[in-house]
Chains A and B, each alone.
Chain A
Amino acid sequence: MSAPKFDPVGLEVMWSRMINITEECWTTIWRTAFSTIIGEAQDFGCELLDAQGSSLAHSPRSMPVFNLTLPRAVKALLEVFPADTLREGDVLVTNDPWICAGHLFDVALVTPVFRRGRLVALVGSIAHCSDIGGTRHYQSVREVYEEGLQIPPMKLYEAGVPNRTLFGLIERNVRKSEMVLGDIHAQHSANLVARERLLAFLDAYDLDDLADLAEEVQGRAERAMREAIAAVPDGVYRSSARFDGVGDPLELSVAIHVEGERMRVEWDGPPQVAVGGINCTLNYTAAHTVYALKSILTPDIPSNAGCFRPIEVVAPEGSILNCAYPAAVNLRTHTGWYCAPAIFAALADVLPNAVQAFTGLPMGAGAYGVDADGTVYNDHLFQGGGQGAGARGDGQSALLYPTSAGNTSIEMFETRTPLVVEEKALIPDSGGPGRYRGGLGQRVRVRKLRDDGNPSLLALHPQGMIVATPGLAGGQPGRRASVALEGPDGVRRDTELHGMAELRTPADVCTIEMAGGSGFGDPTERDADAHARDQIEGYVAG
């Protein structure tokens, strides 16, 4: 047996260093981005990968699904551009939903890192750009062609030289292109920062490459996950989750097969939908599956490829969770964000202390138009729903999940758009009753600042408007989400709006209500003091 290459001390030190590198990368994107969705709401992630494209470390603040889809994207990029064809200064790019993060908005930038002429690692990020062209009426879409510019695996830079053709195409195909290109530049800069730091790290430890280190950190993470799975009794755990669909509710079902140290997650669901863009690519489905499982099984282990090796995820081809090209996918969260609730429900009996009831899903309302001075704006107003309760306590009111994003500052949003937010408030009684109460949802009302003759288009896609997801262990559902546009001509609500509110004058008021979280446990068992406190503070009425 060969001597161990790393002891528990040296490894801990180097592992932390790799996480630090991704953290610096994250900070660079955040601080230099131009869009609300990246610079304010932080809808992006950064990762360090080994030469095969397997994850080594990611920033603790990275968007969960991006951490899990980027390795798949990098592997796909390496198939098109094999390692031995890459050169110093190359930057690879793609937004292909089937190999990247599931819709065209999410653009991956991947920079190979060379040491002594050899590819030793890749650094990359995925960020949700503010626009990717195509229609803004996402719910009417039939095929991905209508959803915007598709960027297959390409080189954005070749040996340090920008690909002017591609930059030109992007510029002409997206709204407010200076914002999109500025964000892409932020991603590029961050990769350069990570590359420099990584090379300095290899120098400091006199490592030729990361192969041994990768094997070690991935191996340890894998063992931790195997042990956690082994602690779950063998068996098949089943559940299902209903969701809004495109006006008519649909249902997903899951069977989690636990066999010793391995887990096989079998999804089933309806066929991919023809209209509405709520289809998930398998990449995306798998990412939400393993994200939920890691949160339950090994929340404290730094994440890397090893965590996910013992887990297999399958879904029927052509189904809504494994759709085929050229299905429309823009609103994939409408389906994919129900994977975690289904998994939690499936494991609620066997792991009651590790799961959480349904969390009211968040939304970024995209505001687009022209300001009175002729400036085009395209900014996202993010807000969360109520967190689901768990065996450890009530849910937090207003929280963005299952993302790592934050909300948008109202003052910042108003400064960048000719809109006024009239209200941003918790909705009393919106948390699902239970022994532990779900967190409260929130209401946001938006209108135009003044009648400047230019309409504002608000893209609105809340989830949970039709289906109220039950709580766990006897907990009740929270209040459902809704949207409404009230104007001189009357009120239009929810699905009548088809995801778009046009604000023409200050008399048009758009109301967004995010769902409350579901409860956990029998409501009659709720602590009387907790209930009294809720009444005093106005979290529940009467």
Chain B
Amino acid sequence: MNARYHVGLDIGGTFTDYVLFDREDGQLRLHKRLTTADDPAEGALAGLHELLSNAGVGLGEVGSLLHGTTLVTNAIIERRGRPTALLTTRGFRDVLEMGHEQRYDIYDLFLQFPAPVVPRRWRLEVDERIDRDGAVLRPLDPASVDPMVDALVADGVESVAICFLHAYRNPDHERRVAERIRARHPDLYVSLSSEVVPEIREYARTNTTACNAYVQPVIDGYLERIEEALVAGGFGGRFSLMLSSGGAASPETARRFPVRLLESGPAGGALATAYLGKRAGLDDLLAFDMGGTTAKACLIRDGRPDVAAEMEAGRVHRFKRGSGLPIRAPVVDMIEIGAGGGSIARKDALGLLKVGPDSASADPGPACYGLGGTEATVTDACLVLGYYDPGFFLGGAMHLDLEASWRACADLGATLGLDAIETAWGIHQVVCENMAGAARVHIIEKGHDPREFPVLAFGGAGPAHAARVARILGAREMLVPPVSGVASALGFLVAPVSHEVVRSYPMAFDQFDGPVVASVLDEMEADARAVLASAGVDSADVTIERSVEARLIGQFHEIEVALPEGPITQATAAVLEHLFERAYEGTYHTVLEGYRPMAMSWRVRALGPAPEVPLAAAPSGASAAPKGSRRAYFPESGGFVDAQVYDRARLPVGVLLAGPAIIEERESTTVIAPGDEVRVDSVGNLRVAVAVGHAHAAGLGRDAHEEVRS
């Protein structure tokens, strides 16, 4: 990180974002271009070239390049992985297809399930069996796989997943089969469940391993092209990939465990929030990212995002839990809500106003885009309410059709007995309530009070909705950072190199064996350190974090408890028990008397140093004068009132403005309601002091009506 220039590069579904950080002046240079879905490597490299030549910087001067991509996610969603086979224990080839055998919507007779990434004809069974204790029940003859694999290769299979029952307890059979395959077919990609995710429960482990194998050839080919081009261009710095967990990894690790890259973009957003929060002096925040089709919320505590152990990929119904493929891999713990600027408002069968999850996306887009959309969307509502300037969308690059928005809202309103304004306000309220409601559940599930987390907004639609979301949550502050348009790419720059290792090793706390636990953890730590060393991290700079997933004996689900620092000894048992009880009671009220806790899995996370990105303060503007005013709708003020409109770039540091006000910048518009106050802090954040929320504003109909009418 000592070199002068550092680049963050985020390939999203629509746009690819770049940031170039210049260590000498602390400035960021931004670049944005359309993603080239057909050949992502080509687009990524072309954009990199544009960014650098615009800045007059040579590739050889770049010290590090941090890269996040939706390549893995899209490969699974669009089924663009390579032909993959699964070798599994005799009798179990259909586990991958059966899944949980569970209906995720009890009233839908026709619910759909995602097809497995490996078709049945390429799921083959090996004669071997390991029991619950890791003992060999039926020995393996590695040569028995030769004819199977030969046939698979002849069939065009490029990648093989190996997942045997209880391999998390004893990986020997998986390893020997892998050795055999690699010796005979060195070009085949091979993924082992005991390496990808050595955890109990065969379906999630098999699926995760199969998905890993499925995307491995794709990511390998992609990385090869990027690396070749970087070398050819004279790049001599560190090239890393962003992991879903919020850590960075070497290309080698990314090639071995590509499923760990699934949510790299959102992880960058969470890291950026943590970083920008720290800059604003805040360690606890809610990251709130609202784009065109979805909104994401993620809790930052003590300056870091929480990390969860499992997620779902490729859902058939994007917002229905259980309709996707379970992936066990560390992932920044966030919720995704079907609420964005393009979310469509409709009357449902009960006569209620529903917003999303259907989206008008970019084509035809909201009615105001004038591209053929006629249904009212969240963006149309913002336009009718006067929050957006039809002539200043994307800084004026796109003109919006206000009349079309009015028509769409009026048409929908007619079916609900509301006028266009009531409808627009209703859409705004419902979408904010949906987002706040989902965020609230997320925060509460983690045992925290939603009122205690300032909301940091980014994404195109985030700043226009965040203050109201904060108000509903009861949060007292909302922030809009200065680089909100490219937050994910910025987040990559501050990601520490990291690697996480998990191992199932059950042990009752009252039979705690200090030396055994210490040796298991040491082994895991050595593995994790080796990965960091291979990524060029100095061992003196490595931080180790250890935790245990524990539960009461007999239960099925664990809670994660951080292990105390220092060596593990027999005395650790009592400390653990105490920590477990405290965490358990926090979530589920009471620990049942007489029930004993036990450890299930152990986790070790090795972290390199967090890169320092001493971002210079945004230049202070020259004038606190508004650039104009327009009529905007605020029920707090009784309806449409004149709101001052400001150009964000011109606002000086320290200025204090009272709502109602609207602050515009190219990428987004910040809406300040009456009662709220906004200040530009010393590093250029907009900091909104949110008036104390009250439920009436959140949508109790009677009062909303009265406000509308008065």
Which A residues form the contact surface with B (CB < 8 A)? Answer: 3-17, 20, 23-24, 27-28, 30-34, 36, 39-40, 42, 60-64, 178-179, 181-182, 185, 189, 192-193, 197, 204-206, 220-221, 223-224, 294-296, 298-301, 303, 354-356, 362, 382-384, 390, 392-393, 396-401, 404-407, 409-412, 414-415, 420-426, 442, 445, 449, 536-539
The answer on a CB contact under 8 Å between A9 and B704 is yes
Closest to B129 in A: A420
CB distance from B687 to the nearest CB of A (A): 26
B240 at interface by CB-CB < 8 Å: no
List 26 A-B pairs, Cβ < 8 Å.
A5-B702, A8-B352, A8-B353, A8-B426, A20-B437, A30-B557, A61-B322, A182-B595, A192-B589, A193-B588, A220-B350, A220-B351, A294-B107, A299-B108, A355-B109, A356-B109, A382-B101, A406-B100, A406-B102, A410-B95, A410-B202, A411-B202, A412-B556, A423-B91, A424-B92, A537-B120
The answer on a CB contact under 8 Å between B349 and A3 is no
> B592 contacts which chain A residues (CB < 8 A)?
181-182, 185
The answer on a CB contact under 8 Å between B106 and A62 is yes
B695 at interface by CB-CB < 8 Å: yes
A63 to B107, CA, bound (A): 11
B673 at interface by CB-CB < 8 Å: no
The answer on a CB contact under 8 Å between A404 and B555 is no
Q: Pick the interface stretch among B252-260, B428-436, B514-522, B656-664.
A: B428-436
The answer on a CB contact under 8 Å between A398 and B107 is no
The answer on a CB contact under 8 Å between B109 and A7 is no
> B702 contacts which chain A residues (CB < 8 A)?
3-7, 10
Please name the 6 residue pairs, one residue from A and one from B, whose CB atoms are nearest each other, closest first. A7-B701, A423-B91, A10-B701, A406-B102, A39-B556, A9-B426
> B701 contacts which chain A residues (CB < 8 A)?
4-11
B552 at interface by CB-CB < 8 Å: yes
> B352 contacts which chain A residues (CB < 8 A)?
8, 11-12, 15, 220
Closest to B558 in A: A31
A326 to B211, CA, bound (A): 53
A30 to B321, CA, bound (A): 15
A397 to B120, CA, bound (A): 12
CB distance from A153 to the nearest CB of B (A): 25
Please indicate which of the listed interface residues A8, A189, A221 has the most CB atoms of chain B within 10 Å of its own CB: A8
The answer on a CB contact under 8 Å between A34 and B91 is no
The answer on a CB contact under 8 Å between B110 and A32 is no
**Candidates B104, B347, B554, B695; contact of A205 at CB < 8 Å:** B695
The answer on a CB contact under 8 Å between A301 and B98 is no
A485 to B362, CA, bound (A): 60
A39 to B203, CA, bound (A): 16
Known: A32-B555, A424-B98, A442-B98. A13 touches B106 (CB 8 A): no
B627 at interface by CB-CB < 8 Å: no
A370 to B165, CA, bound (A): 24
The answer on a CB contact under 8 Å between A537 and B119 is yes
CB distance from B580 to the nearest CB of A (A): 13
CB distance from B484 to the nearest CB of A (A): 27
The answer on a CB contact under 8 Å between B109 and A425 is no
B624 at interface by CB-CB < 8 Å: no
Known: A220-B352, A396-B113. A536 touches B437 (CB 8 A): no
CB distance from B379 to the nearest CB of A (A): 18
CB distance from A5 to the nearest CB of B (A): 6
The answer on a CB contact under 8 Å between A409 and B200 is yes
A524 to B280, CA, bound (A): 70
- Starting from the known contacts A42-B102, A396-B113, 20 additional A-B residue pairs (CB-CB under 8 Å) come to A8-B351, A9-B426, A13-B437, A16-B437, A20-B440, A30-B557, A31-B555, A32-B557, A182-B555, A206-B695, A300-B107, A406-B102, A409-B201, A411-B202, A420-B131, A420-B137, A425-B93, A425-B94, A449-B131, A449-B132
Please indicate which of the listed interface residues B103, B120, B351, B594 has the most CB atoms of chain A within 10 Å of its own CB: B103
A401 to B440, CA, bound (A): 32
Interface of B, helix, strand, loop or mixed by DSSP: loop
CB distance from B320 to the nearest CB of A (A): 9
The answer on a CB contact under 8 Å between B121 and A537 is yes
CB distance from B63 to the nearest CB of A (A): 45
> B350 contacts which chain A residues (CB < 8 A)?
220-221, 223-224, 301
Please indicate which of the listed interface residues A31, A36, A42, A449 has the most CB atoms of chain B within 10 Å of its own CB: A31
B698 at interface by CB-CB < 8 Å: yes
**Candidates A30, A36, A412, A426; contact of B200 at CB < 8 Å:** A412
CB distance from B290 to the nearest CB of A (A): 18
Closest to A415 in B: B132
Please indicate which of the listed interface residues A4, A192, A409 has the most CB atoms of chain B within 10 Å of its own CB: A409
A4 to B347, CA, bound (A): 17
The answer on a CB contact under 8 Å between B165 and A410 is yes
Known: A8-B353, A8-B426, A178-B595. A426 touches B700 (CB 8 A): no
> A28 contacts which chain B residues (CB < 8 A)?
588
The answer on a CB contact under 8 Å between B353 and A384 is no
Known: A9-B430, A406-B101. A205 touches B109 (CB 8 A): no
Give the residues from 159 to 216 in chain B that come closer than 8 angstroms, CB to CB, to chain A.
165-166, 200-203
The answer on a CB contact under 8 Å between A415 and B200 is yes
Closest to A4 in B: B701
The answer on a CB contact under 8 Å between A426 and B106 is no
Known: A40-B556, A295-B109. A400 touches B101 (CB 8 A): yes
A301 to B107, CA, bound (A): 9
B650 at interface by CB-CB < 8 Å: no
A352 to B556, CA, bound (A): 41
**Candidates B347, B433, B444; contact of A8 at CB < 8 Å:** B347
The answer on a CB contact under 8 Å between B201 and A178 is no
A14 to B202, CA, bound (A): 39
Give the residues from 306 to 364 in chain B that come closer than 8 angstroms, CB to CB, to chain A.
322, 347-354
Known: A300-B349, A409-B200, A537-B119. A356 touches B110 (CB 8 A): yes
The answer on a CB contact under 8 Å between B695 and A31 is no
> A449 contacts which chain B residues (CB < 8 A)?
131-132, 137
A296 to B107, CA, bound (A): 8
A310 to B499, CA, bound (A): 58
Known: A6-B702, A7-B426, A295-B107. A424 touches B91 (CB 8 A): yes
> A356 contacts which chain B residues (CB < 8 A)?
109-110
Known: A24-B441, A189-B589, A392-B110. A422 touches B91 (CB 8 A): yes
B590 at interface by CB-CB < 8 Å: yes
The answer on a CB contact under 8 Å between B98 and A397 is yes
Known: A31-B588, A415-B132. A64 touches B351 (CB 8 A): no
CB distance from A349 to the nearest CB of B (A): 17
The answer on a CB contact under 8 Å between B704 and A10 is yes
A220 to B351, CA, bound (A): 8
A178 to B352, CA, bound (A): 46
B24 at interface by CB-CB < 8 Å: no
Closest to B438 in A: A20
B228 at interface by CB-CB < 8 Å: no
A94 to B617, CA, bound (A): 65
B699 at interface by CB-CB < 8 Å: yes
B445 at interface by CB-CB < 8 Å: yes
The answer on a CB contact under 8 Å between B109 and A299 is yes
**Candidates B100, B589, B595, B698; contact of A204 at CB < 8 Å:** B698
B705 at interface by CB-CB < 8 Å: yes
The answer on a CB contact under 8 Å between B201 and A426 is no
**Candidates A300, A400, A422; contact of B103 at CB < 8 Å:** A400
A384 to B699, CA, bound (A): 43
A32 to B550, CA, bound (A): 12
The answer on a CB contact under 8 Å between A24 and B445 is yes
A405 to B704, CA, bound (A): 41
> B700 contacts which chain A residues (CB < 8 A)?
6, 10, 14, 205
> B440 contacts which chain A residues (CB < 8 A)?
20
The answer on a CB contact under 8 Å between A442 and B595 is no
The answer on a CB contact under 8 Å between B588 and A32 is yes
CB distance from A102 to the nearest CB of B (A): 18
**Candidates B105, B121, B137; contact of A60 at CB < 8 Å:** B105
> B589 contacts which chain A residues (CB < 8 A)?
189, 192-193
A171 to B227, CA, bound (A): 66
> A206 contacts which chain B residues (CB < 8 A)?
695-696
